[in-house]
Structure 1
């Protein structure tokens, strides 16, 4: 968008007339200085050329001679002026056209400069905005880097916790195998206890039966002493076996209670390990397949001997 002209033809004409009265030749630069160095040189030159063209027409119209010399001079001056006027008018027209072209070009250049200045102002604004965005982006980048460092530290801590959870998970199959073995041993001991109690009941019944037979066969006491002695020895032997069985059963119950306590401790450890394994989240899910595979090849715990 071009700038509006701040100099009018009336202002240029007034300044040129004043300079002519003062005997000073009006020029574009002198007129611009009289106008306070305002306005473009192209516009002032264009308006000054119009003023000069008007001055030539006024001089031609005001040319007059006394009646005594007019006739002689007019013919001569007319011929000379006609020839000179044609040349001067042609040159003047050419100069005026050149001056007009120059003024037009100056005005176009001034408009172009104004447009460029506006573009420069717009670019300066865009530059300031871009610098502000760059500063914001730089701050965001710094914040992102700090956040990345925190994320890496958190990830490292999570990997450490995951490694601990994996160690606990790796210990789980062994604990579960131990628990299964203890339960099997406990079941075996309970079965042995039931068998021993049944044997004791049978022996007690046999003893009662023998006592009844001794009462009923008191008359045959002398004859059955040897047999009774043998039966008594057998009963004593069975009683000793029963006592040994009861002692073994008590030891077995003590071991079973110890195994139950170990199983409870192992179960609590398993539950704690499972609770900690859940905190591993999605990362532990990738290891479940490995855990299932490792469970399929769990080593069998060797049964302890008495």
Structure 2
């Protein structure tokens, strides 16, 4: 819509009047290319108020021209009525334009009001959605932090459990390393015993006793070796359980407890085997000492009196 100003309305009215046209709201509006009829009406009224009024000069009237004046009055009255009709028509036209503009403005206002309500509702809905998204984001972030902390704590526990299992396994392996020396000692004593058995016949009885002791010691050694194998198997199982515990987080605690139990059992078996080996070693030392002693001469049985006769 064209901008309506007082200067533009007055200029349009002057141009229409100079061209011999009838100055009206519609004519001014058409000349300006549009504009609000209400504003044009106000400015056009100011333009008309500024128009100069020509005062009639006092001229003596000839009585003879009374009829002519009366005729002129009738003509002037007709022209005044015509101008009044034209002004009424112009007023009606202006009123119609104003009513049309008011209707258009009312429709535009209704459209703008409806659009504004839609925008407000959309903003309220978006504000609620944004609030929910922010709450979901904060809740998700908190849950993620908690899961990360739990995973870190679980990883620390698993690393500690694996390190404990490795240390226990190392101690068990150190204990098992001492068993080969015991086996070598037993083998050496067995060889010495076999050499002693080929000696003097007088030592056969002592050798038999020594053999029995050696067999008992060998049985203990065999039992110790069996316990050693079991200990090695348990230690191997403990190592597998420890390695499996480091790879499977959800079974780390159970595997660690089982590993600890196996390691403790292996440690007890190892201690028992070492004790048995120590006992066998002590017995073998006693056997060696007995073998080194000189053989006692066989004593003749005493002859009772009267038997020779």
TM-score computed with the length of structure 2 as normaliser:
0.43
TM-score computed with the length of structure 1 as normaliser:
0.43
